[in-house]
Structure 1
Amino acid sequence: MVPPLALDIDGTLTTASGRIDARVFELLPEWDAPVVLATGKAFPYPVALAHFLGRAETVIAENGGVVHVDDETAVLGDSAAPRAVVEAFRERGGDLGWGGRDTVNRWRETEVALSLDADEALLREVAAAAGGDVEVVDTGYAFHVKSTGVSKGRGLERVAEALGVEPDKFVAIGDSENDVSTFAVAGESYAVANADAAAREAADVVVEEPYMDGTAGVLADLRKRTA
């Protein structure tokens, strides 16, 4: 029996150019165990991907701020404090860095994402001044201003409980700082070769291949192990 999976999306199920790798649609629909899509993206993105994979919409979105399992959605993050930090950042001359686009944050319920072009030093200064309820997480794709009380790892614990599966039965694959908490909860963890330093240090194994190449290799090895 193959193990349940907790999979990051960006940098893990994608190509180097940020596109969903077509092998996702070959490997995941028939995976005979739960697959949790755990991402920093807003809630609609992993739900849509699960839908197109033909899988249950079991997702952890917004770095643990929103969790959906067994047709129930739990909003775990508090949006008020992150939004206040971003407003203070703007008042001090900061720019979210998205230009005229509003799709990055339009559907976010618990956090705010800023472009990597935003003034990181100012953002972190403002967040620190707000006290310990808010943190800034660099996923390599955006700066996420979020509640400190939520994480992908805590989301995975909630999903595992709902599914009746021990968290340490999961295999987690990711590439970023926001996957560290997932790695800590899962029984086995892999960082793809493009992973940042935090993810590489936290993972049980750092694979040789990047992006979906690395993920596909891990899935192949898991199948062989359980054949």
Structure 2
Amino acid sequence: MFSTTSPLAIDIDGTMTRPDGGVEPRLFERLREWDAPIVIATGKSFAYPVALCTFIGIPDRVIAENGGVVYVDDDLTIEGDAAAARRVAERLRADGHPGGWPDPDMHNRWRETELSVSRSVPEAYLRTVAAEHGQTVVDSGYSYHVKSPAVNKATGLRRAADLLDVDPASFVAIGDSANDAELFDAVGRSYAVANADETARARADVITERAFSDGLLEALDSLT
């Protein structure tokens, strides 16, 4: 059922990247040759996955900011609560923390709908502040994301699938973090790479033997 004709939803950090950082260049040709739509699904701000699609040489089809932004074939959908995220940032600064990351804050400079917060900020405190503003916190393993509880990668995937006129269940998803768990639930088949956190591993259909981008390549190989 699942093959090179299956649409893909792929996370970036920890999935497309190498252990020492940076996107694995071996992926570029593999993804350019894929026969079905590819959606890059990430917690990164909107600009990053769009740029990545451009450099890979695939159509701009992205779920960014954990579902807060969906951009598929020139159709842009923005959800979430940017005003609430800004209020959380203001509270962090008032309490002596960075309003996300230390300046210059490149994690949030182009962010549309949520707030990325350094893991140096105490998690319990952050969750309390976020809840006071109607927001939730998801831990990507690289940063905390303060976002609307109404959006996630699964809501983004369903929107992207609608725009592509394909069934979400036809997708194969590949990721590594808790923010990929809802995405795994929304698709027909899911892979957690070997370095994935416990939440992602528990919700995935398959756990690869290899980690990071090698695990992604292993998943792609299993579909060919």
TM-score normalized by the length of structure 1: 0.94
Aligned to 1:157: 158
Aligned to 1:24: 27
Aligned to 2:85: 82
| C-alpha RMSD of the superposition | 1.2
- Measure how far apart 1:97 and its partner are: 6.3
After superposition, the C-alpha distances for 1:13-35 in whole angstroms (9 at most, x for unaligned) are: 00012210111112101101000
Task: Map residues 58-137 of structure 1 onto 2, 5 A cutoff.
Answer: 58-96=61-99, 98-130=101-133, 133-137=134-138
| Counterparts in 2 of 1:171 and 1:20: CA distance versus 1, 3 Å | same
After superposition, the C-alpha distances for 1:42-98 in whole angstroms (9 at most, x for unaligned) are: 111100111111111000000000000121111112101122122122222223463
Secondary structure at the counterpart of residue 74 of structure 1: strand
Secondary structure at the counterpart of residue 100 of structure 1: coil
1:97/1:117 contact within 8 Å kept: no
Aligned to 1:12: 15
TM-score normalized by the length of structure 2: 0.95
Shifted more, 80-89 versus 23-32: the winner is 80-89
Secondary structure at the counterpart of residue 45 of structure 1: helix
| Counterparts in 2 of 1:98 and 1:81: CA distance versus 1, 3 Å | closer
Secondary structure at the counterpart of residue 136 of structure 1: strand
Aligned to 2:212: 211
- Measure how far apart 1:119 and its partner are: 2.3
2:208/2:215 contact within 8 Å kept: yes
Secondary structure at the counterpart of residue 73 of structure 1: strand
**Identical columns (%):** 53
1:193/1:214 contact within 8 Å kept: yes
Structure 2 Cα separation of the partners of residues 126 and 92 of structure 1: 11
Structure 1 Cα separation of the partners of residues 118 and 97 of structure 2: 11
Structure 2 Cα separation of the partners of residues 58 and 97 of structure 1: 27
Q: Among residues 29, 32, 36, which one is paired with 1:33 in the alignment?
A: 36
Aligned to 1:201: 202
Shifted more, 178-187 versus 80-89: the winner is 80-89
- Structure 2: gaps of 5 or more residues: none
- Structure 1: gaps of 5 or more residues: none
Give the aligned residue type for 2:109: R
Secondary structure at the counterpart of residue 105 of structure 1: coil
Structure 2 Cα separation of the partners of residues 96 and 83 of structure 1: 9
- Measure how far apart 1:207 and its partner are: 1.1
